[in-house]
Amino acid sequence: MKDSYLNFANGGFGARLTNMLGMPRPEFLERYEPEQPVINGSVLLGSGGDPALLETLAALFQSMKTQTLFHAQTPQWLKIANDAGLITGRWETKGKQSEKVKALVFDATGIGDSSESAVLHRFFHDSARSILNCGRIIVFGRPPEQCQDARKATVQRGLEGLMRSLGKEIKRGVAAQLVYVAEGAENHIESTLRFLLSPRSAYVSGQVVHIGGAKKAARDPADWSVPLKGKKILVTGSARGIGAAIAEVMARDGAKVVCLDIPQAQIDIEKVAAKLDGSALALDLTHSAAPDTLVTAAQADGGWDVVVHNAGITRDKTLANMRAEIWNSVVDVNLSTQERINDALLESGALNKSGRIVCVSSISGIAGNLGQANYAFSKAGVIGMVQSLAPSLAQHDITINAVAPGFIETQMTAVIPFGIREAGRRLNSMHQGGQPQDVAEAVAWFANPASGGVTGNIVRVCGQSLLGA
């Protein structure tokens, strides 16, 4: 659905008026298109204490052909970058016109005590005004729960509050994230860094991502522009909306996609599948035979590499007015079918080695929502399923993650009453709704063969919505 306010607030008169009245000013967000570089501009690098990731980051920036600058607090970057064959230079803060950069990347893994946190203040204080529109802030830290020392765990946990505040303060389409890298997982960062730096993460902000050590060494795709080449992927609920966008992005990234939806949507799934050179599967997921049908279909395809549980429904009513059938149908489509299908695919081996399961939750499952007790229960259950399955699946080199979309412009949100719809669109750091592509890009990052260290994560695609924050 069209967001007229976005165009109005960016027009000459509208921009002046919204400025005068102190109204939110959404930015036209940059979104990924094929052939684009990972990042359109340079990265300013900073660090504190005894940073652990600088060498790794230098190699990654080299692989992405990214130009870097370094802050005075990180003079060691000059040698590290030169050794890695990177072009780099010292970022000057003298005068008001310091060089503009597209991203700020801070390695905070070496900060071991809150008394050392002034380095964080200095870096972000110096650079906050130098970040370009639709820029990125990425802070790297160590998972607090894995820090042996309480002082270190404390300061590492503090990074979350810093990052979320920066996301809210800087505006102009700038997104901020915190990435906790477990010791030993340094070789599993690339897919995440590429995603978070690029316009693929346009509507992801204020998120904490955990990267752990995968059972196997990272498998970089042969070609980062088509990372899913050769992968066979099932996307449920892909006749329209977010599911259709997921199928499109997966096909754009090289995958063969099986598009599944209910039999009533057969014509639409066939259209989506034909456009992507994929195949269509008409199946009601709640049917008792659905898991077996899927196992047979996967085996006929030689197994699937990725399963995306996107199909979902809403049937809103306050709990006091909600009939049992309505509760049951929402829980069955949104949650129980995912459990049954996972069990069947895993038991039969129809999910290939190094498989990926990606689930679609919702910020309703995090914040709860008036009139959505059934939906919020089901979506919170999805989060529980991801977190409980991740450790055992990791033993088999399979990852499971979820995206939790906020307000996304689809047919599902077009029917929300105007006032609530406007609140949903504006009450986030981007002051606008997201696009189905934004959810799809996050799903593609989880599906990436190089994302083996990313499991058990729930990443909101919500523009840093205030709901449940």
- Looking at beta carbons only, is 131 or 404 nearer to ligand NAD? 404
Binder to ligand NAD among 192, 310, 342, 352 (CB under 6 A)?
Answer: 310
Can residue 241 be called a binding residue for ligand NAD (CB under 6 A)? yes
Would you say the C-alpha torsion 220, 343, 462, 380 has a positive or negative sign? Answer: negative
SS3 56: helix
Can residue 262 be called a binding residue for ligand NAD (CB under 6 A)? yes
- Looking at beta carbons only, is 156 or 413 nearer to ligand NAD? 413
Can residue 435 be called a binding residue for ligand NAD (CB under 6 A)? no
Can residue 108 be called a binding residue for ligand NAD (CB under 6 A)? no
Which of these segments, 74-82, 195-203, 237-245, 300-308, binds ligand NAD (CB under 6 A)? 237-245
What is the contact mask toward ligand NAD in residues 264 to 303, using x (rule: CB under 6 A)?
-x------------------xxx-----------------
Which of these segments, 165-173, 207-215, 226-234, 311-319, binds ligand NAD (CB under 6 A)? 311-319
Smallest gap from Cβ 106 to ligand NAD, in A, equals: 31
- Looking at beta carbons only, is 193 or 285 nearer to ligand NAD? 285
Burial of 57 (0-12, 13-18, 19+ CB in 10 A): buried
What is the contact mask toward ligand NAD in residues 381 to 420, using x (rule: CB under 6 A)?
------------------------x-xx-xxxx-------
Q: Are 215 and 246 in contact (CB under 8 A)?
A: no
Q: Which of residues 356-385 bind ligand NAD (CB under 6 A)?
A: 360, 362
Q: Are 246 and 403 in contact (CB under 8 A)?
A: no
The residue written with tokens 């196997």 in the block is: 216
Smallest gap from Cβ 333 to ligand NAD, in A, equals: 5
- The Cα 93–Cα 102 span in angstroms is 16
Binder to ligand NAD among 137, 311, 442, 450 (CB under 6 A)?
Answer: 311
Note if 5 is an active site residue: no
Smallest gap from Cβ 218 to ligand NAD, in A, equals: 29
Number of residues that bind ligand NAD (CB under 6 A): 27
Q: CA angle, corner 466, sides to 461 and 469, nearest 5? A: 80
Question: Which is catalytic among the residues 32, 180, 203, 375?
Answer: 375
Distances from the Cα of 114 to the Cαs of 118, 141, 159, 311, in angstroms? Answer: 8, 13, 10, 45
- The Cα 74–Cα 55 span in angstroms is 13
- The Cα 161–Cα 127 span in angstroms is 18
The residue written with tokens 């489509």 in the block is: 333
Q: Are 455 and 390 in contact (CB under 8 A)?
A: yes
- The Cα 387–Cα 468 span in angstroms is 18
Can residue 437 be called a binding residue for ligand NAD (CB under 6 A)? no
Return the exposure string of 253-269: e unless at least 16 CB atoms fall within 10 Å of the residue's CB, then b.
bbbbbbbbbbeebeebb
- Binding residues (CB under 6 A) for ligand NAD: these are 236-237, 239-243, 261-262, 265, 284-286, 310-313, 333, 360, 362, 405, 407-408, 410-413
* Active site members: 375
